[in-house]
Every structure is written in structure tokens, then in C-alpha cells.
Amino acid sequence: MIFEKEHELVRQLAKEFAENEIKPTAEEVDETGDFPMEIYQKMAKAGFLGIKIPKAYGGSGGDHRSYAIVMEELAKASGVSTIWISSPNSLQSTPILRDGTEEQKEQYLRPMVTGEKLFAFGLTEPGAGSDAGATQTTAVLEGDYYILNGRKCWITNGPFCDFAIVTAVTEKGKGTRGISTFIVEAKWEGFSHGAHEDKMGIRGTRTSDLIFENVKVPKENLLGKLGGGFKVMMNTLEAGRIGVAAQAVGVAQSALDEAIKYTKERVQFGKTLSKFQNTQFTIADMATKVEAARLLVHQAAQLKDNKQSPALLSSMAKYYAAEVANEVAYKALQLHGGYGFVKDYRIERIYRDARILSIYEGTSQVQQIVIAGNILK
């Protein structure tokens, strides 16, 4: 893909970081489930934690194309590494930048960019997954505080977050218009987390429930308008899908690279697998789909950078790139045969990491609903 000079410089920086810092530890991170905090701090120093955050709040002030480039390059080395970048750049900073007060931006964005503090994004609940409007967590106003009660699940950074952006029902009977969003600090009494989930893939992040038992949230920690929380979160997810789609492209490219390498080396029936026409057709199909997904991601990012709504294209990019990542990882493992089923080969981890891409931040089926809704309205 042809990049402008500034984007090519970003790509080169990210590629070198991935090769030198991420790739050497990828298997160990997968095995232990722990991502090295020293690498996270190096991400902060490289400016990756605040790519899209304005310089006024300590960020790099970059655009969405730069963000997509970094996400893809790091995902090629390790899919899970990009979650540590997408969290501050997307789910956590977007709602504060878009709907937060100036005081909230100053207080919470700077420690996010430096890596000093970790945030979580609390939307999903045991009974409210794809149906996010079915939120049961409540926030009742009592004097100068909202009393927060409820539970969120599948929360990245849940076990050790310093802050969480959380949705709660502030007015019953109003459906999604009765949901508000709050910034909740983990140090407040009544805030706790559940057990860490032992996940199939992206094992280098910690995931748990967040539990709120009569947590006193100051009124000034309301994020956006009262009753506007559902819209805050949907707008956040809309922009966030570009990052997940870029992550998916990186995972898909990594699987493709492993397939190309292996089929050029593996000899069967007197010649390498790459000499068989069936293999060639499979590789050609994989490569074409990866490139198509990449172009779709950058088209969505370009729309966002041009201040145009990326709603349709971001869902298309997320849907298509996630499905392509799963398909390419599957075919790459199949080309490895039995060797692809053991941990000695990178494709085994890549295959497991790819599976989450069509699930989190809106399943592929949810993306189809969004796409159809935009086209048929």
C-alpha cells in the first residue's frame, strides 16, 4: 500500500518497535498471560498510547490513519499487544475527548497517555452483551453523589484498572435514553473486580468482571449529558471499530506470512508445497482478501480524518477484516498440517488470537445489522 511520507515514517517506527520489542516476547506473554509493563512504558515513550489524543493533553496529535498503521504493524508481531494501544486511543479516550468537560480531559487524559494510569471500559453485563441497551447497573442521585450498583463483565484491564468508564441506568422506564455514563475511580469504596478469565487467545491482557456496591460517584464525574450515555458509548464503538479492523488486518497478514514461509520450506512428493497449484490458489485468495481488508480499513480511517461519518465503513471494515483474519488463520494452519496444531509454530497462537476479532467490540452479526441498517434506511 502507498503511504504519504508522514504515514510511512509512522509505519517504519511501528514496524521496528514490533520487531525489537513485541515479537521476541510474544510466545512468553501468551504462555504466562502477563504483558511486560516495561514494554508498555516503552509504548508510552514512543507516543503510541496517545496517537490520536491532541497534543494539548499530552498526546501525539496523530490521525486515524496513523493509528490504523500502528495497530496493524504491532498486530503482525502479536495481536494482544495492540489491545494495550487501542484501549487508551479508542474506548477510553474517545468518550472523554468527545463528551468530557475540560476538567475531565485534563485530569484523565494525561495519565492515560503517559501510561501512569490504566483505564477500563465498562459496557457489557451478564445480561447485556450485544443488547447493550439492556443495562441493569444503576446510578441513583443522592445529594452530590450518584450511588452506583451493578456488575460489568469481560472487562479488559478489569483486575488492575485505576479508572473505568461505566454505563448505568439513571432513569428507569426510558430505555436507552435513561442510560448515563460515568468515570469511576477504582480507589473508591465499593469498587472491586471478579476473578481473571482464563481466555483462549489474546492471553496477554487481564479480563474480569467489575463490581459496584454502593459506590459514591461525584456528580462532576458524569460523562456527557444525563441520559446520553448510550449514545456516548455507541459513538465510541463506531470509531473504535477502525482500530479493531486494523488489528485484524495485522493478524491476517501475520498468518499469511507464516503460510508463505512454511509452504516455501516444506517438501512433499519431491517439491515444496508452494509448487503445488492448490497451494498457490489458496495463497492467492488469502493475499487478495488481506489487501482488500486493508484498503477498507484505511478508507474508513480517511473518512474519520476528513470529519465525515465512518459509521457504515467502520462496520464494514470491522466485519470484513475480522472474518478475513479468521479465514486466513484457518487456511494458514491447514497448510501447516499437524505442525500447525502445536505451539512450536507461531500459527497456533495466531489462530487462537484471531478468534476474538469477530466477537469483541460488536460481533460480526451486529456489524451486519449496522451495515444493513445504514444501507436500507
Please state the rounded mean pLDDT for residues 287-308: 96
* % of the chain residues with pLDDT over 90: 94
Three-state secondary-structure class, residue 151: strand
Co-location of 169 and 242 in the same domain: no
CA distance readout (Å), 242 to 47, 91, 99, 297, 299: 19, 12, 20, 6, 10
Q: Is 371 in the same domain as 256? A: yes
| Distance set, CA 295 to CA 149, 249, 369 (Å) | 43, 10, 22
CA neighbor of 104 nearest in space, from 3, 232, 248: 232
pTM across the whole model: 0.94
Same domain, 184 and 262: no
Catalytic residues: 361
198 and 300 housed in the same domain: no
- Quote the CA–CA distance of 195 and 108 in Å, as a whole number: 26
In the prediction, which pLDDT does 238 show? 86
Contact 207, 199 (CB under 8 A): yes
Q: What is the pLDDT of residue 367?
A: 96
pLDDT in tens, 210-260: 999 999 999 999 999 999 999 999 999 888 999 999 999 999 999 999 999
* CA 45/CA 36 separation, integer angstroms: 15
In tens, the pLDDT along 40-55 reads 999 999 999 999 999 9
Average pLDDT of the segment spanning 349-370: 96
Examine the domain organization and report whether 34 and 52 are in the same domain: yes
Closest CA to 261 of 325, 348, 336: 336
Indicate the number of domains in the chain.
3
pLDDT band for position 129 (cuts 50, 70, 90)? confident
Of 81, 99, 114, which residue sits at a domain end?
A: 114
pLDDT at 94 exceeding the cut of 80: yes
Last residue of one domain, picked from the residues 160, 194, 227: 227
Residue 7 has pLDDT above 80, yes or no: yes
Q: Specify the CATH number for the domain of residue 356.
A: 1.20.140.10
Domain that holds residue 12: 5-114
Query: Is the same domain home to 204 and 281?
Result: no
Final residue belonging to a domain, choices 227, 258, 274: 227
Residue 204 contacts residue 30 (beta carbons within 8 Å): yes
Pair 236, 369 in one domain:
yes
Flag whether pLDDT at 2 surpasses 80. no
* Residue 179 host element (H or E): strand 179-185
CATH number for 147: 2.40.110.10
Q: Are residues 273 and 209 in the same domain?
A: no
Both 75 and 174 in one domain: the answer is: no
Residue 345 — very low, low, confident or very high, per pLDDT cuts 50/70/90? Answer: very high
Q: Which three cell numbers stand for residue 114?
A: 503517559
Q: Do 159 and 250 share a domain, yes or no?
A: no
Are 366 and 246 part of one and the same domain? yes
Q: What is the CATH number of the domain that holds 44?
A: 1.10.540.10
